[in-house]
Amino acid sequence: QGVLNAKSRTIAVLGTGINLVTPPENAKRFEQIAASGALITQFPFNRPADKQSFPIRNRIVAGMSLGTVVVQGAQYSGSLITARLAMEFGREVYGVPGNVTVDVSFAPNQLIKQGAKLVTSWEDVVEELPTAVRAELFPVDTTSREERASLFAESLTPGERKVFGLL
């Protein structure tokens, strides 16, 4: 929903046939994604969700992502399945630590113990992205040749400026 609110492209990987909205209350979101992004699935029309469909779907999610951030998940959760698949595909795996007395903190805490990068803010994820991706997300303002020369000249001492001017 956050990506849709930011008017960005969203890709939803479904655990059902493309013609089924699960749960039904997501119908509006389904339409928004279809209008500005993509809905993809490997399942045939009319294939309802079942216990096996979401781990199958998570294989696609793990494969198409640069990394997987696990915020919560119990000991036998889809989150751990997705993280394992991401590792098998050579993707980065991140964990947001949680309270050790809460069942759904098991997955991120376990992954961090196993070497996943601990995440406490968005910057922890961004700093791991490939340089080309970071450059696209955070473009650096370019300066003209004249601006660079001006900045250089301003950094010189008066004597250095005289020599630079002669050159």
pLDDT tens across 42-62, in order?
A: 999 999 999 889 889 999 999
Cite the DSSP H helix spans in 73-139: 78-88, 106-113, 122-126, 131-137
70: left (phi over 0), alpha (psi -120 to 50) or beta: beta
* Reported confidence tier of residue 143, pLDDT bands at 50, 70, 90: low
CA dist list (Å): 83 to 26, 72, 127? 25, 11, 19
Q: How confident is the model over 83-142, as pLDDT tens digits?
A: 999 999 999 999 999 999 999 999 999 999 999 999 999 999 999 988 888 888 887 776
Whole-number pLDDT of residue 101: 95
* Reported confidence tier of residue 148, pLDDT bands at 50, 70, 90: low
Q: How many CB atoms lie within 10 A of CB 96?
A: 21
pTM comes to 0.72
Average pLDDT of the chain, as a whole number: 89
Give the dihedral of Cα atoms 2, 83, 15, 7; nearest 10 deg: 20
Whole-number pLDDT of residue 146: 73
> What's the CA gap between 133 and 81, in Å, rounded?
26
Spell out where the chain has E strands: 11-13, 38-40, 67-70, 92-95, 117-118
